[in-house]
Structures are given as C-alpha cells and as structure tokens.
Structure 1
Amino acid sequence: MTSRPVALFVTPVLPLPGGSGRALRAWDWLQTLSRDHRVHLLVAGDRDSWPTLPADYPAEALWPLADGVSTTRRYRRLAGLSLPLLALCSRRFVSDWQQWTSTSTLEALEARLAGETVQRIVVFRLYLQDLGTALAARYPHADYALDLDDLESRTRTSVALASWRMGQYRDALRGLSTAIQYRLVERDIARQYRTLYLAASDDARHLPARPGLSIACRPNRIALPATPAGLPCDGPLGLLFVGTLNYPPNEEAVRFLLTRLIPRLSTTLTSPWRLRIIGRHASTALQALLRDTPQVEFTAEVGDLDDSYARSHIVLVPLFAGGGTKLKTLEGFAHRRPVISTRQGVRGLAVTSGEHYLAAHGAEEFAASIVALATRRELAERIANAGWALCRQQYARP
C-alpha cells in the first residue's frame, strides 16, 4: 500500500474544534489536509501550554516552535513602531513578525521526513511567512500556499480605530503604526506563492495581481449542533453576546451594549428581558462596568455554549471594527437564533438583511429590531430558520 503524501501546516495556534477563532480556522485546515495527507503541524508556542490531545487527533506529528525575542530584536521592534517605513528594509522591524532563533526544529523535521514526498505546505497567517519560506526552500516541489485569513493592514487599522474611539490612544497609535508596516509587507507577498486564501472575498481587490497567482476565498466554517434547540417559549427575553473581551472590537461592542443599548431598551421594551455577555479576558474597568449595569448576566467562561444559545432568544453582533468573517455571527446562525448585526458583523457573508438577519447600526435601530423580534415570533422564527439554512449550506464543516 502506497503511503499518503505529507502536508506541512504552519499555524500560530494549536488547531482545536472548540478554541478561539484562529484555532477554529486552523482546525478546519487540519481536517481538510488530513483527508488526503499525513499532516505535520508546526505550531508557534510552548508544547507545555497545550491541552492533552485525543488519540485520534488528525496530525501525524506536532513540532512546537519557539519565537525568540532578543534585546536586539526588541530595539528593532521599537524602531519599527517609531518609523514604520523601516519595514521596507527588513521584515524584522515589523513589531510582531514571527522570527525563529534556531533551525534545529526544521533540521529535525527534515531528518524525520527523509525520503518522504512533501506535497503541500500551507502557512496560516502572514506573520509566519519567514518560516514558510524556509520550508519551501527545503521542499521546492511542494504546492506552497498562504492563508492570510484577512488583510493584516486593514484589520489592524480597523482595530486601532476602535481603540482610539474607546480612548486607548497608546494602543491605537501602536496599532496604526503596525498596520502601515503590514501594508508595506503585503505589497510583496504575491510574488512568493501559488495560492493566497482569504476569509472574505472583499479583501481580494486590495491585493496586487500577479500572473499565475490564484486568490481564493476560503470562508470560515463551523460545526453545526446536531439538533439546535427551538426558540424558548417562556421566561424573560434572552439577549446574547459572545466574544473574547480583550480584543478591542469586542470590548467596543460590549461598551455599546452597556452604555447605549440598555438605556434605550429600558424605555422601549416593556416585557422582562436579560442580556447575557460571555467572554474571557475582560479588563478590570470593563468588569466593573459589567457588574454595575443592571439586567446584565456576565460569565467569563462557560463549559458548553450550546446551553447559553438554547436559553437565548436573540444573538446580538454590534461590531464596528475587525476583519475577515465573524464566527460569532455564524454561531448564531448555527444555533438557529435570529441575529441582529451591524454591517461589520456580517462582512464577507452571503447574507441579506431582512432575510437571514436584521441589520442595525445605532442603539435605536438595535432596540427597534429587538422589539420586532420579541413581539413577532413568526418573524423571529423565519429569520432564525433562514440563517440556519444558509449556514448549513455554505458555512458548515463537513
């Protein structure tokens, strides 16, 4: 029996089915590659921080990669933040570019795969490009692809503006400087790959064209619950927001809910209601605001999100910044819940307002949409069913 060829997958996070957005996208890649290849994972970070993996984990081997930060490199990063144009001289000036201090892991990998056919190399995220280039030099006949997920320059600009709006000016300036650095780097990436992947097709028009380069849309996909619960028939109206709260767009969304939407709902929604916010890593200031806001139920972590969705009537996605496509929107669809979202929250998804979700921007529009769904159950069920059907057809993992 002929052995299957090898695929090398370079990722900044350990692929996991229930992890962060990056971990979920990496997990989707791992499942795809493992169907026809024996996958060797090269993962940034320390193996000691990884959870215990099941025996059927779909990777033949895992290779942890330590990113060294020397004193010289710290100075380069500081210089790069102060003078972003230095990125034209070297990517080492890019503030969070991944740089490997040792080739021992690559040498061990090469020895392990001696005589093997390495057919594919997939690098997940632009800042791991140097490692991908080193692998491509060792395996020049492999199909070499880069999954950008989103455009770092555009996403970081958007996130920096969210920080600025919240008064986090130092973070905003640092983010804008890094965005400029990545924009300079992105001008050259098309020369090195056969295929570039993006989560949202809208980003493709911002990449330079090159003959022979394929730019493909690989949307984020999620696992559908086996049997999503129907909308609750009793109890107070349940509103739900889920997100990691040290990410500025999510923090901005929560602050919008607490300071702008809740006061509006208190005057427009006469029936009992409750806002559930689930998210890790909230700052001390945000935790205090969450504790002091009435009608809010805050949980840092839950063991099973399915139960939280089952107890909720409406999923809120009040995002005003970010990049790529939003897994929180797809999760709302997958759990058969009506979603109210800003334009940013459905960016890159093939959705129509009024059919798959309800569009809103300000507090008044969000409140009006909540009232409409709360008082018209047939509307809530129609929106929920349409979003679920779309997710099953286009965004469900096989």
Structure 2
Amino acid sequence: MTLPDVAWPLDGGKRLRCAGVLRGLAEVADVDLAVLHSRAPEDVAPVPPDVAVRRWTRTAPDPLPRSRAALQAARHALPVHVAAQRWDEVREHLAAWTAGQQYDLVWFGGLDHAVALEGDLAAPVRVVDCDDVETEKWRAYLRGPATGVDRTERLQRRVELPLWGRVQRQVLGWADAVVVCSDVDAARLGGPSTVVVPNTYPDPGPPAPRTPPAEPVVVVVANYATPQNVDAARAAALGVLPALRALAPTARLRLVGRDADRLEDLRGLPGLDLVGPVPSVDAELAGATAVVVPMRFGGGTRLKVLEAFARGVPVVSTALGCEGVGARDGEHLLVREDAASTAAAVLDLHRDPARADALARAARALYERSFTPAASTGAVTRLVRDVLA
C-alpha cells in the first residue's frame, strides 16, 4: 500500500487517517508499506508500534520548481499538485523496492498516487483512498469570499476544477473500489464501487469533569500546512475573535497545531495566542470554552471535530466544518456560519455551562457509536475481504 503521510506519530488528521487504514489492512493481510512525499522526520518509524507490517519504505523527492510544475500540468492536463511531484524518482525507488514481489491487492493512498502509479504497481485488485472529493473541496473554495485570497491561486483552482473531475472519473473507471470518508462524499463522487471508510479518532477514555475558564477561551486545532486550515484560522483570528472580544473584552483565541509559522503575521493581534505544535492537546482542550471550526472550504470529515467530541469539548462549527459526521445543530454542537453568530454562540456556552456539558455529552455518545478506531478498521477489513472474495 501507499500512504501520503506517516501513520505514526498520530499528530494530525491525515496521519490518523493513514493509521486507521493501515491498521485495518494489517489485520487481514501481510502489508508492504510505501510512504510517499511525507514531510515527517525520518528518525521515527512511520508505523504505529502495535501494528505489524512486513516491511516499509519512504521516499520524498523535492518537488519540481513552480514553473516546471506548471508546464508539466499543462502538458499532461493534470492539477499542479499532481504534476509537481517527481514521480520519475518515486517510480525508480518503488521499482527497486518491489522487484520480484507479487501482490494480491494494491491500496493507493490518494488520487495523485493512483493517477501517477497506476501502471507501475500491479495487482489483480486495486483500491484507491480518495479521502477528499477534490472537486467539491475546490468548488467550496471558489464559492467562498474572494477578499483576501490570492487571485493567481483562485484562477489556478478554477482552471484545475475540471482536471480534478477528469482524474476522479478516470479512477472510478478502473479501480475495484474507491474509498471516501463519509456517506455525503460517497453520494457526491458516485459510482458503484465507492465505499465509505470513516475517519476516526483514538479513544482518550471518558472525559473528566470540565472546569470552565474564567473568561471565554476558544481553540482552533489544525495542521496549518493546508490552505483550508490556514483560511479557517484566519477567519477565526480576523472575524470571530474581534466579534467575541466586543462582547467579552478579555476573551482569547488559541491557534494550536503544526506549521503555525504560516500564521506568523497574525501574532500580536489582541487576544490571540499563536501556540503552534504541542506534545499533547489535552491541556489546550481542557482549558477551552469551545473548539471553533470556521471552515469555509475543504473536503472529507474534520478530525478536529471528532477530537473535540471524543474529549468532551463543546464545538461551534460551520456546516461545512462538521459535514459528514451526522451531528445535529443544538444536539451535538452549534452550527454557525458567520463571525458574529459564532462569537455569540461561544459566549452563550461560556455563560451556560449546563448547556455546554449537554452538547459535549451528546457529542461523546455520537463519537462512541460511530468514530472510534474500530469503525475504520472494521470498514477496511470488510472491504478487503469483499474485493478479494
């Protein structure tokens, strides 16, 4: 199988996804794992300590310069994200590593892996983990506000939208199964071979009783290497935080997660703590009034929502931010679409701890029903048994 990131340590949504899929495959088969293009440090094995694989390898060639990537994209009618990678070096690495091997199934860890390596990794059965439905992700981006957005990037996404559609149709045409992370995405992608493997979150155990902070504290937890998470953080810092401080002048926003240096220009805003990566999010979430998820574009299901649900922390999210998890507004979380209503919802939760606790309990119950690691492991093992039957 190929993965787009390491499956250990579990310090981000993509890595949690990788770990869930790998764990399911390892339960029913001997797995050779190839991690492609991961930026993770190489001093730690990319496999969870309790998961056995036959062997693993990593390769992460530097991408092409932007100008050459654009030429490659135009020449092959591919999105720049796909065309920018040095697939020639990846193929050379994998050819040497898989020489003499025969496989019953190849699991491609992304659309880009599938498109670039379809002819290079041979097996009777081929499965593609789509994870995000790229066309829907970028449609949402293009529907969003144009203010403050790089015009060149916006034009690029508009040009690439039909290219992603073409890639998705091609993969649906040859893959034995195409995996997405929710029923919503399955309906969008379509196709008789589309299967849901949900995103999940490791169970931290029953949440401890919460002590609300003296003043409102909201937290955004994310990997800021992705444009959708950077956009959400900016929406929180430049929209939600000022609106909240207009209601509660001592309120604070804490931006937690990897690659927070991409938000360095926000440092110094009144009430903003640019925290960055932390060894554990426990203390950050325990000290929060709520987790806010002001997503305006993106795909898949947000692990940051499942994380808060699992840990018993109230969530205020856009509808897109909580899409695909089956959560209902007013029962499991609060859905708000703009900065002013998000700020008002956070203040309501701060002033009404009983309501905050009720939302958190219902959300934890939803997590226990549908989003523990057993849900993804079971879905993967059932899928593999079905396609190999």
TM class by shorter-chain length? 0.7 to 0.9
Distance 1:191 1:97, change over 3 A: farther
Check 1:64–1:100 CA distance in 2 against 1; reply closer, same or farther (3 A cut): farther
Q: Among 73, 87, 100, which residue is 1:99 paired with?
A: 87
Equivalence map 1:1-398=2 (5 Å): 9-45=1-37, 49-53=41-45, 56-67=50-61, 75=68, 77-79=69-71, 83=74, 87=77, 95-96=83-84, 99-101=87-89, 102-103=91-92, 105-111=94-100, 113=101, 118-130=103-115, 132-134=117-119, 137=122, 139-140=123-124, 143-159=125-141, 164-207=146-189, 209=191, 213-233=192-212, 235-269=214-248, 272-282=250-260, 286-291=263-268, 293-398=269-374
Matched letter for residue 100 of structure 1: D
TM (norm. structure 1) is: 0.83
Q: Distance in 2 between matches of 1:313 and 1:92?
A: 40
- Tell me, in whole angstroms, the C-alpha distance in 1 between the residues paired with 2:244 and 2:280: 28
Q: Is the 8 A contact 1:290 1:298 kept in 2?
A: yes
**C-alpha contact 2:70 2:80 (8 A) present in aligned 1:** no
Preserved contact between residue 336 and residue 384 of structure 1 (Cα < 8 Å)? yes
The equivalent residue for 1:4 is none
Highest Rg: 1 or 2? 1
The whole-number CA distance in structure 2 between the counterparts of 1:95 and 1:131 is 9
Give distance in 2, aligned partners of 1:222 and 1:323: 17
Which 5+ residue runs of structure 1 have no aligned equivalent?
1-8
- Structure 2 runs not aligned, ≥5 long: 375-389
For 2:209 and 2:21, locate their aligned partners in 1 and report how far apart those are by CA, in whole Å: 31
Structure 2 Cα separation of the partners of residues 56 and 280 of structure 1: 25
Task: Give the count of matched residue pairs.
Answer: 371
TM normalised by structure 2 equals 0.85
Quick one: higher RCO (CA 8 Å, sep 6+), 1 or 2?
Answer: 2
How many angstroms apart in 2 are the aligned matches of 1:173 and 1:314? 35
Tell me by how many angstroms 1:66 deviates: 5.0
For residues 69 and 214 of structure 1, the distance between their equivalents in structure 2, rounded to whole angstroms, comes to 32
Shift of 1:122: 1.1
CA distance in 1, matches of 2:93, 2:148: 44
Alignment identity in percent? 23
Letter of the 1:223 counterpart: P
- Tell me the CA shift for residue 365 of structure 1: 1.1
C-alpha distance in 2, partners of 1:179/1:230? 46
CA distance in 2, matches of 1:245, 1:66: 20
Cα shift at 1:162: 5.6
Match of 2:385 in 1: none
8 A contact 1:146–1:195 mirrored in 2: yes
